[in-house]
Chains A and B, each alone.
Chain A
Amino acid sequence: MEFRKRCCQRLQKCIVGLLSCILPSAAMADMQLNLTRGVTPVSHAQYDLHMMIFWICVAIAVVVFGVMFYAIIRHRKSKGAKPAQFHENTTVEIIWAVVPFLILVVMAIPATKALVLIDDTENADINIKVTGYQWKWQYDYMDEDIQYFSNLSTSQDQIANLAPKGVHYLLEVDHPLVVPVNKKIRFLVTATDVIHSWWVPALGIKRDAVPGFIHESWATIEKPGVYRGQCAELCGVGHGFMPIVVVAKTQEDYEAWIQEQKDQKDEQKAAANKTWTDTELMDLGEKTYNKTCAVCHQTSGQGMPPTFPALKGSPIATGPVSEHIDIVLHGKSGTAMQAFANQLSDTELAAVITYERNAWGNDTSDTVQPSDIAVAKGQQAPMPASTQGQMEKVTVDVDKEYPKEELMTQGEDKYLQYCSVCHQANGQGMPPTFPALTTSTYVNGSAEDHIDRVLNGVPGTAMQAFKQQLNPVDLAAIVTYERNAWNDAKGGVVQPKDIVSRLNGDNKQQSTAQGESK
């Protein structure tokens, strides 16, 4: 008896231990077991229906398994059970075909009602077009002329386990969809590349976004709050990384938000002309710095020498203002320092430079105003408005087909000049900051993605955009080199033509961006 008791206790401890190690946060996390009740009439209908079928299923299971276990326990051979001889009974068969059928009818009636409810998108107060892209959402307030993209805002470091994960890991975006409560919102869902699916559980909406076609959905949100969802249709590599965040506000707050959006465009223009105070610039500068620059130069301004120089006490940050502005605007080729002229607004640029010149003991007490940036930009326009203009000037022959050997030789040359600082001559990089190219999915994947990375860089990382720094032939050579050097020569050849076609694709985004700011 004693022994048994001890064994029991030990087993208990083991189980508790095992559970607590499997379920580290079981106690604190609000583990959701059931469907969300949601905050819209549709989601309530779905929830009620769900609970109804669930209990019907439980009841069926209890009856069926009850009979089965009765037989398993009572009619076993080891208990001396003798088999009965019956093996047919039409009445019984009919009964158990008809009874489930009746249950199904009972289930189908409310389900049909709910379907009709879901389908009724008429009399909407607000119309929002939702467009799925690989891999982000675009929201277009059709009645207000407001449109913007909504991107995942979780950092790559969190995904790569280099930084602690936030509470809303993978369920947070830079610009959430903002809607009012108690208004009927009609969503028109479409996509531009592959099929996505716009799903917000609390709204009871899941709609496939199909390129070329438009589908409707609706919601009347009852409670202000933040409701999160995700793309629900496999849409490629970034499928798990395009969340949806809906912020429901009261009518007043919503109107204020709309006004704010409209004002913002004007403000951006106004801000550029306004003279900012030191504190304002330093506050904004710190924010911008931490978001954009700290990845490499660190929040402490100490950088990660030798690749990322320290800004604290650096000759650039404490030397002449014009040089500092120049390097931030146009980057420094051959290094990881990218050009920020087009990535940040004039105000942000002014603020970040001011911040760098006054933080960490760089007490130059210089203030850079947005107008200074505008002047600096005007003095040496870094780039003609259209890339085509530049391409026509370039004397290289982009239409020519270059032999692979030529591209490889030129590619190696240019690679060593422009890329090897970070990615190393052997392509091994310096992970995690500079990924290895030898094993990179971009280098080994589709040529288009690879080209786009090289052309446009990766905002928020040290990977800069090279489209303005190199001509198409050099770019083609580098891409070809990267795809064929180090491991295998199977990467194929990328011709300048391919680069040009990607540049043109890219050109469109610029022009839409300009269109928006008008």
Chain B
Amino acid sequence: MANTRSPEEKNKRLLKWAVIIVVGMFGFAYALVPMYNVLCKAVGLNGKGYTRVDVQAVTRVDASRMLKVQFLTTINSDLPWDFKALNKEVEVHPGKVTKVHFYVKNNANHAMTVQAIPSVSPGIASKHLHKTECFCFTQQTLKAGESMDMPMIFHFDRELPQDIKTITLSYTLFDTHIHPVENNLEIRS
């Protein structure tokens, strides 16, 4: 162990490395965010794997299979909106482009902007879900008392695993305005 460096020098080098690792790991925590999203897309976790197609691609319908697609709507934390799936359940063949409708109404006495967050179960099915049009692509603003019919156009591709027969598409309506801490800081002092 012929090491010529003095302990002080070695300590300094080590300190430098430690700082690099610490900063790196702090950054790694942030890197976990995009990594997680990539992973979610890859395995369809939480239904984040669907693809958005701008122009309707020509799809071949697999008439030998029938899928049951259910639609669920949830309103998050006391949002004063009505939100319903007008088609609660549809039966489609893989590859068949389908349009379904949702109904929303803003019951508040002022305009509000909401965002629908999609979720798919089983998650893996979302990898084979293609949406041409969805109200969840953008935020939706409605005036006080206004209601709206929101369409959603989608299809599942033919590569959908054979064992999947029922798929649930869930949409949760969130108020985009609620900034978390406003809950607590409503009291101004």
Interface positions of A (Cβ within 8 A of B): 121-124, 127, 129, 131, 142, 186, 188, 190, 192-193, 211-216, 388, 391, 401, 446-448, 483, 491-495, 498, 501, 504-509, 511-512, 515
Contact = CB atoms under 8 A, between A and B. Distances in A.
B188 A493 contact: yes
Interface string B151-189: 000000000000111101010101000000001101111
A126 B186 CA distance: 43
Given A123-B165, A192-B76, A512 B82 contact: yes
Interface residues of B, number: 39
Nearest to A447: B187
Contacts of B165: 122-123
15 contacts: A123-B165, A129-B72, A131-B74, A142-B72, A186-B166, A188-B168, A190-B172, A193-B77, A213-B47, A492-B189, A493-B189, A504-B109, A507-B108, A508-B107, A511-B80
Interface stretch (B3-11, B27-35, B52-60, B114-122): B114-122
A491 B119 contact: no
B121 A193 contact: no
B46 interface: yes
Identify which of B81, B170, B184 gathers the most chain A CB atoms within 10 Å of its CB: B170
A512 B81 CA distance: 9
B43 interface: no
B187 A492 contact: yes
Contacts of A515: 82
Nearest to A498: B186
Given A123-B166, A213-B47, 15 more contacts: A122-B163, A186-B166, A190-B72, A193-B77, A213-B46, A216-B122, A216-B168, A491-B187, A492-B187, A493-B188, A494-B187, A498-B186, A498-B187, A507-B109, A509-B78
Contacts of B121: 188, 214-216
Identify which of B120, B164, B187 gathers the most chain A CB atoms within 10 Å of its CB: B187
Contact of A188 (B72, B77, B109): B72
B170 A190 contact: yes
Nearest to A492: B187
Nearest to B164: A122
Interface of B: 46-47, 70, 72, 74-82, 88-89, 107-110, 117, 119-122, 144, 163-166, 168, 170, 172, 174, 183-184, 186-189
A198 to B, nearest CB: 14
Nearest to A503: B109
Contacts of A215: 121
B70 A142 contact: yes
B74 A494 contact: no
Contacts of A491: 187
A516 B121 CA distance: 26
A121 B122 contact: yes
B74 A192 contact: yes
A188 B164 contact: no
B45 to A, nearest CB: 9
A388 B109 contact: yes
Contacts of A142: 70, 72, 88-89
B125 to A, nearest CB: 11
Contacts of A508: 75, 78-81, 107-108
Given A507-B107, A509-B78, A446 B166 contact: no
A509 B108 CA distance: 11
A446 B184 contact: yes
A123 B172 CA distance: 25
Contact of A211 (B172, B186, B188): B172
A193 B78 CA distance: 9
Contacts of A492: 187-189
B188 A495 contact: yes
A192 B188 contact: no
A65 B72 CA distance: 55
A212 B79 contact: no
A511 B109 CA distance: 13
Nearest to B88: A142
Contacts of A506: 78
A446 B72 CA distance: 32
B119 to A, nearest CB: 4
Contacts of A447: 184, 186-187
The 7 closest A-B pairs by CB, nearest first: A492-B187, A508-B80, A214-B170, A388-B109, A212-B117, A492-B189, A213-B119
Contacts of B189: 492-493
A509 B89 CA distance: 25
Contact of B70 (A127, A446, A504): A127
Contacts of A505: 78-80
A507 B110 CA distance: 12
A212 B76 contact: yes
A420 B75 CA distance: 37
Given A129-B72, A507-B80, A508-B107, A188 B170 contact: yes
B170 A211 contact: no
Contact of A190 (B74, B82, B120, B122): B74
A448 B187 CA distance: 9
A469 B78 CA distance: 23
Contacts of A494: 186-187
A124 B166 contact: yes
A447 B109 CA distance: 22
